[in-house]
Amino acid sequence: MKVIAFNASSRKDGNTATLINHVFDELKKEGIETELFQLAGKNLIDCQACMKCSENRDKKCSITNDEMNRYIEAMLSADGIILGSPVYFSTISSNMSSLIDRAGFVSRSNDDMLKRKVGVSVVAVRRAGALPTFHAMNNFFFISQMGGPGFF
Ligand SMILES: Cc1cc2nc3c(=O)[nH]c(=O)nc-3n(C[C@H](O)[C@H](O)[C@H](O)COP(=O)(O)O)c2cc1C
């Protein structure tokens, strides 16, 4: 079994990474394989609403000059997905927003290819805005027909 995580902070190995690694520690105790993708510096562009993913239905985003398709492939092969974001102005970071919109639309366009995987959100917050940030990431799981840790 494998669980992957995305750290969408602009700071590699910052607070969001620390929190994700706490979750990984527990998973490793259960013999679950883990892999962390750090999005700092990856500059994922936003969904262009080109709708090519729903025309092509090839489980890929049509934008190929960044690492999104590598992340989508990793999501497909994982059993569980952790989304981690710091709070930026009471919501998710822009890299997390691009990840959700583009991977989410590819999944929707391919018969909800992520359905029945398990998803968990992790939020690093200084003071305020944790709940809308948590909610924004959880919506990716709900819309993708995924479940929480007690799902199975
Ligand atoms: C652009 C920006 C906006 C932020 N907005 C908020 C905010 O609205 N509420 C808050 O509590 N913290 C806010 N923070 C602080 C970060 O969420 C907090 O320091 C977090 O722990 C950083 O995680 P990281 O080390 O993984 O980047 C903001 C930080 C940045 C850089």
Question: What is the set of domains in the chain, with CATH numbers?
Answer: 2-143 (3.40.50.360)
Q: What percent of the chain has pLDDT above 90?
A: 97
Q: pLDDT-based confidence at 17, cuts 50/70/90?
A: very high
Give the closest residue to 34 by CA, choosing from 47, 42, 24.
24
Task: Please tell me the predicted confidence (pLDDT) of residue 149.
Answer: 83
* 96-120 average pLDDT score: 98
* 26-47 average pLDDT score: 98
Residue 88 alpha carbon to ligand 1 centre in Å = 5
Q: pLDDT-based confidence at 112, cuts 50/70/90?
A: very high
Residue 85 alpha carbon to ligand 1 centre in Å = 9
C-alpha dihedral over 46, 75, 57, 64, to 10 degrees? 50
Contact in structure between 71 and 7 (CB atoms under 8 Å): no
Nearest CA to ligand 1 atom 30: 88
Determine the atom of ligand 1 nearest the C-alpha atom of 90.
8
* 131-137 average pLDDT score: 98
Q: Which of 125, 127, 133, 137 to mutate to test the pocket of ligand 1 (most atoms within 8 A of CB)?
A: 125
* Gap between the Cα atoms of 8 and 152, Å rounded: 27
**Rg of the Cα atoms in the chain:** 15
Residues with Cβ within 6 A of ligand 1? 9, 11, 14-16, 86-90, 124-129
- Reply yes or no on whether the pLDDT at 152 is more than 60: no
Determine the atom of ligand 1 nearest the C-alpha atom of 87.
17
Task: Give the pair of three-digit tokens for residue 38.
Answer: 């750090």
Is 98 strand, coil or helix? helix
Task: Please tell me the predicted confidence (pLDDT) of residue 151.
Answer: 66
* Gap between the Cα atoms of 44 and 59, Å rounded: 18
Nearest CA to ligand 1 atom 7: 89
- Reply yes or no on whether the pLDDT at 150 is more than 80: no
Task: Please tell me the predicted confidence (pLDDT) of residue 103.
Answer: 98
Task: Please tell me the predicted confidence (pLDDT) of residue 69.
Answer: 98
Give the closest residue to 104 by CA, choosing from 114, 95, 94.
114
Determine the atom of ligand 1 nearest the C-alpha atom of 127.
11
- Reply yes or no on whether the pLDDT at 107 is more than 60: yes
